[in-house]
Amino acid sequence: MDKLDLWKKAAFLRKTLGEDATSPIDIFTLALSIERLSIVFYPMGENLSGMCIKSNNKVIAINSSMSLGRQRFSMAHELFHLYYDDQMTTICAMGIGTGQCVEKQADQFASYLLMPPDALTDMINCLKKNKSDRLSIKDIVRIEQYFRVSRKALLFRLIDENEITQQEADSMRQGVILSAVNLGYDDNLYKPLPEDKKYMTYGFYIQQAEEALKKGLISSGKYEELLLSANRADLVYGKETDGVELID
C-alpha cells in the first residue's frame, strides 16, 4: 500500500471540498457539499460499517448503530470508494485495517483525511514534553477529541505511526468513555446519535423531492411518500420540538 499516495489523495480531497490542510473537519457537512450525493444513516448491526453506491446519483450509507467517532471514520472511508475506487457498489465490513487491499487503503485514506499526518505529528510533539516521552491516556483523549475520531481509529493510526506499542494500545481500549468524561469531555463522540437520528436521509434525495414538488412534477402526496420512505417523517409531520426557532 502506497501511504504517501493515500496521504496525497486525502490532501487533495480536502482541498477539493474547500478545507485547509490540517484542521479537524466536519465530515458530514463537508460530504453534503458533494454534488448528487445522498447520505443515509441506518443501523446495520455489528458487521457492517457502511456502503457506497455510485451511479448517476451517489449514495453513501453509514451504520448509525456505531459511535459518532466511528461513523465519522466510516464516512471518510466511504469517500475513498466514492472518489478513488472503480467498483460501482461497495459494502464495507466493520474492522479497521482489515479485509481486502482496497478496504485497507480506504481505512488509511480515512485516517489521513480526518487526521492529516503533519497536524497529528504537530499535536503529538506539543503533547510530549520530551521526545522520549510516551503518550498518556490523557493525551490520547485530547487527540481523539480534537480530531473527533473513535479510540479504535486513533489507536490503529498511532500503532501504524510507531507512536505507541500494541501493548500500550491494548491498555487504552478499556474504559474509553470514562477516560474522556473524567477529563471533563462530553461523551457524545463515543455513543451513537440519538434514536430520532438513527434512521435518516440527507442531501440530494431530499433536494430532489423538494424540487420535483416545487416544479409540480409530483403531487404533495407523492412528495410525502418519498420523504417517508427515506425516514424523514420529521419533514412530513414536523417534530414535537418544532415551533420554536432560535435565531442566535
User: Minimum CB separation from Zn ion for residue 47, in Å?
Assistant: 13
**Rounded Cα distance, 143 and 120, in Å:** 8
Is residue 92 at the binding interface for Zn ion, with CB under 5 A as the rule? Answer: yes
The residue among 95 and 238 lying less far from Zn ion, judged by its C-beta, is: 95
Q: Which residue is nearest to Zn ion (CB)?
A: 92
- What is the Cα–Cα distance from 133 to 233, expressed in whole angstroms? 52
Q: Which is nearer to Zn ion, 19 or 103 (CB)?
A: 103
How many CA atoms does the CB half-sphere of 225 hold within 13 Å?
Answer: 6
> What part of residues 9-48 is at the interface with Zn ion (CB under 5 A)?
none
CB-wise, 106 or 226, nearer to Zn ion?
106
Q: How far is the CB of 56 from Zn ion (least distance, A)?
A: 21
Nearer residue to Zn ion within complex by CB, 73 or 223: 73
* Cell 466493520 sits on residue: 94
Total residues contacting Zn ion by CB under 5 A comes to 3
Check the CA dihedral 197-30-83-20 and report its sign.
negative
* CA–CA separation, 99 and 92 (whole Å): 9
* Phi, psi dihedral angles at 128 (to 5 degrees): -85, 125
Asked if 106 interacts with Zn ion (CB under 5 A), we say: yes
Shortest Å distance, C-beta 206 to Zn ion: 25
**Grid cell locating 83:** 472518489
List residues near Zn ion by CB under 5 A.
92, 103, 106
